[in-house]
Structure 1
């Protein structure tokens, strides 16, 4: 059960945000601002408390579905949609900040970043990261979303964006919704095909990462294929 910290203050959350800044508000207060109103049975603070009480960790909020949010009394479809939109926007802001400033210097650092972004997704996502000569990310592209029954990508789909953005190197990242991060035979096939295609175009294939919510696998770290 997620631990909830209550704030003692004579100010309402919106007033506190104006007076003290958003970073001074508790999780419950921030949720109360997003939810705005309660219902006949509970006020907005109680509904926020109920939502937080369903979580083992705050990060679990980002993995709740529309249906799961609506199962919490006091959160209807509209409130659930607005919460999901706010959560997704926050993820995109964070990702955009990283893309503009981050220099990729280790597989571990990148893997942790991508765990937050796609590690908890319930469908397989393949993301390509395109880098310049200083190893700064210049573009991030979702290549494929779907089931494990389909080949996750072909090199021409991925390298199209590398040429378009004049990237000097590429990193592939995809998630395993099962949580098992060891590569499949299809993962090995895609990695080898990407390496061959990149070599033909003079683009460096830096790594292929497989991530889950809690772990990752790096072809560069674990194999001799990408050296």
Structure 2
């Protein structure tokens, strides 16, 4: 028997539960049910939500980030209105995650960097090479992209990296890039580019503190690996 939201007591209905207990108290199914609003004649909104989560169970909600409208519409019960609502909610979440804090954040350890950059880079399909620019107190000044695409020496040129650092009056920087494969292990190219940029940093007296490689909720710090002295 299909259970609809109307069959539930008021305190168990997703909207009422959210208003009473807050969004964090809701399961993924309940949050999706609120966004979808309704099911179909043969399928309740809960069943539809469960079907979506089951379809993407391998990577969970992360898979929805890169889902296309065409892919989502292929799920029976999802029309244009529901699909656009889902994709708009996902994009809003991503933009909030990427929005820099109004208060300057001081970087004290690699995990501080990871917590700052992971929401922005974790779901990217291409490699993004960026630099975290810091002031004399190790507070974040800016986090600009330098290049997008397969990481190699022709794309990541020291000139662009240090021009950006100089323009922001940075005292030091941390190199950051992602591996779309999810594996943050450094490649030979990663190590080569790091050494090349460190050589340039010594001339300009803008210290490179670390190179953080982000994977799927994992990271590698070249500093911790002993590759940066």
1:69 and 2:66 aligned:
no
Residue 112 of structure 1 and its aligned partner are, at CA, apart by 5.4
1:129 and 2:132 aligned:
yes
Aligned residue among 215, 218, 222 for 2:221 = 218
Deviations 1:140-161 (A, max 9, x none): 2222222357844212223333
TM-score, normalised via structure 1 length = 0.78
1:164 and 2:167 aligned:
yes
Change (3 A) 1:94 1:102: farther
On the 8 A contact 1:99/1:138 being kept in 2, the answer is no
Residue 78 of structure 1 and its aligned partner are, at CA, apart by 4.9
Q: Which runs of 5+ in 2 are unaligned?
A: 1-7
Match of 2:94 in 1: 91
- 3-state SS in 1 of match to 2:143: strand
Change (3 A) 1:58 1:171: same
Q: Which runs of 5+ in 1 are unaligned?
A: 1-7
Match of 1:60 in 2: 62
On the 8 A contact 2:134/2:142 being kept in 1, the answer is yes
Residue 14 of structure 1 and its aligned partner are, at CA, apart by 2.9
Following TM superposition, where does structure 1 have runs of at least 4 consecutive aligned residues deviating by more than 6 angstroms? none
On the 8 A contact 1:138/1:167 being kept in 2, the answer is yes
On the 8 A contact 2:211/2:222 being kept in 1, the answer is yes
Match of 1:191 in 2: 194
For 1:144 and 1:91, the matched residues in 2 are separated by: 20
Alignment of 1:140-151 (within 5 A): 140-148=143-151, 151=154
TM-score, normalised via structure 2 length = 0.77
Which structure has the larger Rg? 2
For 1:150 and 1:87, the matched residues in 2 are separated by: 34
Deviations 1:157-212 (A, max 9, x none): 23333223222111121122234433333222321222123223321211112221
Match of 1:4 in 2: none
Change (3 A) 1:166 1:89: farther
On the 8 A contact 2:126/2:180 being kept in 1, the answer is yes
- 3-state SS in 2 of match to 1:143: strand
Match of 2:24 in 1: 23
Deviations 1:27-79 (A, max 9, x none): 22221222233334323222112122232465534544225434433234553
For 2:153 and 2:36, the matched residues in 1 are separated by: 39
For 2:130 and 2:80, the matched residues in 1 are separated by: 30
Range moving further from structure 2, 54-63 or 201-210: 54-63
1:46 and 2:50 aligned:
no
On the 8 A contact 2:152/2:189 being kept in 1, the answer is no
